[in-house]
Amino acid sequence: MRSKKIYFDLDDTLVNTRETILKRIALLLGRYPLDVDSSFVYNLLGNPEREQLLSKNKLLSQSFWSAYERLRKDITPDSFPRAKEILEGLVSEGKTIGIITNNTCLKTLEKLRAARISPSLFRGNIYSCSENGRLKPSPDITIHCGLGSGDFVYVGDDIIDYEFARNSGADFYGVCTRECKEGEFIKAGLSKARIFPSVREVFQR
């Protein structure tokens, strides 16, 4: 990998966010006998119209969400195997690494610290798409990050990550750590040689 600048998605690329959220939900559904499954609640968490949906559906109570927020402090995400070591190795090789994520900066820092990954490693930038009004796959994100077309490599776990890299003229490596599987990346146009089980295999020596 020749590029000096390597940027990462955060959730389910560097840290196991989905697995952590499902653990919290499973614990709560054991306490609250609701007629919904964990995937319903998981999808609701990431829905920007969650509050409007909840106002129409009293199925999930305020106490449920309050309990979920408390669990966020008790059950925290961890990094994927060797992710921290890989990041530190890239920096020691003189690479500039950064994060481009839809998380807020505060949540990004919380997740990194919970996963014992030092935010100081990311000298490139920790860019919050949601806070800057530029969501992936918009290539305008690169302007805010001071990146030129084809100036960096992006590593992510979702089709939208691939579309962002393609729109930005960046090389892309896909990791299959969440719902997005190899076949979906290939169908979207990504070469099989650029698809890996996790970040560990992308940078395996």
**Structural domains of the chain sorted by starting position, each given as residue range(s) with its CATH number in brackets:** 5-16+79-202 (3.40.50.1000), 18-74 (no CATH)
- Are 138 and 164 within 8 A, CB to CB? yes
> Would you call the peptide bond into 139 cis, given omega within 30 degrees of 0 as the criterion?
no
Determine the Cα–Cα distance for residues 1 and 49; give it in Å rounded to an integer. 40
Non-local (6+) Cβ contacts of 205 within 8 A are none
Tell me, what's the pLDDT at 50? 66
pLDDT in tens, 95-141: 999 999 988 999 999 999 999 999 999 998 899 998 888 889 999 99
Q: What angle (nearest 5°) sits at the alpha carbon of residue 166, between those of residues 16 and 157?
A: 10
Q: Is the pLDDT of residue 145 over 90?
A: no
pTM above 0.85, yes or no: yes
Q: Is the pLDDT of residue 51 over 60?
A: yes
Terminal Cα distance for the chain, rounded: 11
- Are 190 and 165 within 8 A, CB to CB? no
- Are 17 and 163 within 8 A, CB to CB? no
Tell me, what's the pLDDT at 84? 95
Could you give the C-alpha distances from 176 to 33, 152, 194, 195, in angstroms and in order?
Answer: 32, 21, 11, 7
- Which of 30-34, 42-46, 54-58, 170-174 has the largest mean confidence? 170-174
Burial (CB count within 10 angstroms: exposed 0-12, middle 13-18, buried 19+), residue 38: middle
Tell me, what's the pLDDT at 100? 97
